[in-house]
């Protein structure tokens, strides 16, 4: 055992050996040198920045631009996103699709065209509670706008069509709308010289069901309404909307409307029960099969009264509102949504501000002559 008298002195606080005085001096000098060198480097860097640096204020963060296919999208840090300003499509297909979209010969009695219910001069709908089809037949639900429909997750109120292409079958075959078969329609169009020429220009195999659908889809994809005042505001044009409209947008978010109406189409990207907070159909009465919504597609109990959330773009132009066309004004529609979806009463002053915001969602029509 070592002699206690020969032990090295220890630091009383930490119990570590105390270094010899020479080592302490050496470490102190080394640290002083490093500190002095660091000071010189900082001083030198500061001098360089003062002489050559950029002293302007930093730029605010800019929207991120990303490309998806042939369309340009801009990501804004808000629950609502602006529409792309342009969409690149085959112009010959679009022109052919536009012609088909407006041609009454696509119906069995030559009285109805797509444009009959989707009027491009009035918000892409027809302004009626329900539309009138071939032979005067009345539809069962309010007509949705065709504008910006390419940006939805599904088509029709009940979402029974998964693609734009599939959606075309609905009105073509529906006896309440155009009421014609593809075989008969192909034969009708094949007898029209102009269509023979136009289809031959775009499609190697000419007129058939697949190509008719493809041309109409191309036209419908072109029906975007960009550059609304609100989109311009999102892109950084702060004076594109008024202070009241900005307040209306804030209320739209604060009350929770954005839970269903968000994204690029301000809706159209989810399904929701009509009557989350209160039973709308029980209070309205006279429940029809159309009121069952997505249940008619899936057969699942939880899908009763569930509908695809409609887009709010151009909503000021597409009255009456809801699948049953039961409300004629935006003020009425906002009150109904507050009561049955949010479970609350919104003061008229706040409703007016929210409606002022909704009026900023009207975009620019894609074709000349549409007002």
Residues involved in catalysis: 177
DSSP per-residue string spanning 278-342? S-HHHHH----GGGGBTHHHH--GGGTTEEEPPP-TTGGGS-SBTTTT-B-SHHHHHHHHIIIII
DSSP state of 27: H
Helix 348-358 and helix 330-337, axial crossing angle in degrees, nearest 10: 120
Instruction: Give the whole-angstrom CA distance, residue 185 versus residue 191.
Output: 10
Contacts of 211 by beta carbon, 8 Å cutoff, 6+ apart = 199, 202, 203, 205
Lookup: tokens for 284: 């309205």
H-only helix segments in the chain: 21-52, 91-101, 114-117, 164-167, 169-173, 182-190, 193-202, 209-221, 229-234, 243-254, 280-284, 295-298, 330-337, 348-358
- Three-state SS for 66? strand
- Three-state SS for 259? helix
- Cβ–Cβ < 8 Å for 333, 322: yes
């Amino acid at each position: 055992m070592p002699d206690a008298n020969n032990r090295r002195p220890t630091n009383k606080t930490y119990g570590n050996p105390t270094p010899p005085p020479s080592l302490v001096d050496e470490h102190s000098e080394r640290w002083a040198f490093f500190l002095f060198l660091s000071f010189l480097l900082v001083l030198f860097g500061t001098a360089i920045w003062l002489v050559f640096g950029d002293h302007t204020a930093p730029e605010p963060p800019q929207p991120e631009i990303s490309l998806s296919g042939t369309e340009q999208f801009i990501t804004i840090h808000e629950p609502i996103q602006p529409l792309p300003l342009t969409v690149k499509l085959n112009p010959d297909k679009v022109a052919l699709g536009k012609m088909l979209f407006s041609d009454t010969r696509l119906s069995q009695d030559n009285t109805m065209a797509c444009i009959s219910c989707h009027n491009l001069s009035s918000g892409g709908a027809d302004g009626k509670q329900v539309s009138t089809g071939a032979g005067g037949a009345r539809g069962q639900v309010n007509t949705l706008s065709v504008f910006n429909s390419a940006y939805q997750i599904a088509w029709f109120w009940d979402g029974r069509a998964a693609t734009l292409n599939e959606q075309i079958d609905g009105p073509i075959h529906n006896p309440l709308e155009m009421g014609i078969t593809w075989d008969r329609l192909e034969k009708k169009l094949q007898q029209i010289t102009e269509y023979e020429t136009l289809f031959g220009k775009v499609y190697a195999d000419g007129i058939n069901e697949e190509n008719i659908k493809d041309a109409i889809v191309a036209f419908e994809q072109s029906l975007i309404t960009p550059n609304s005042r609100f989109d311009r505001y999102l892109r950084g044009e702060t004076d594109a909307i008024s202070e009241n409209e900005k307040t209306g947008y804030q209320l739209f978010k604060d009350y929770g409307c954005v839970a269903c109406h968000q994204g690029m189409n301000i809706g159209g990207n989810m399904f929701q029960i009509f009557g989350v907070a209160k039973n709308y159909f029980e209070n309205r009465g006279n429940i029809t099969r159309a009121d069952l919504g997505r249940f008619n597609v899936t057969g699942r109990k939880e899908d009763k009264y569930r509908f695809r959330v409609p887009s709010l773009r151009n909503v000021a132009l597409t009255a009456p509102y809801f699948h049953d066309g039961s409300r004629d004004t935006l003020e009425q529609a906002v009150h109904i949504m507050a009561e049955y979806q949010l479970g609350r009463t919104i003061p008229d002053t706040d409703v007016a501000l929210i409606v002022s915001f909704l009026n900023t969602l009207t975009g620019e029509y894609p074709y000349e002559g549409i007002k």
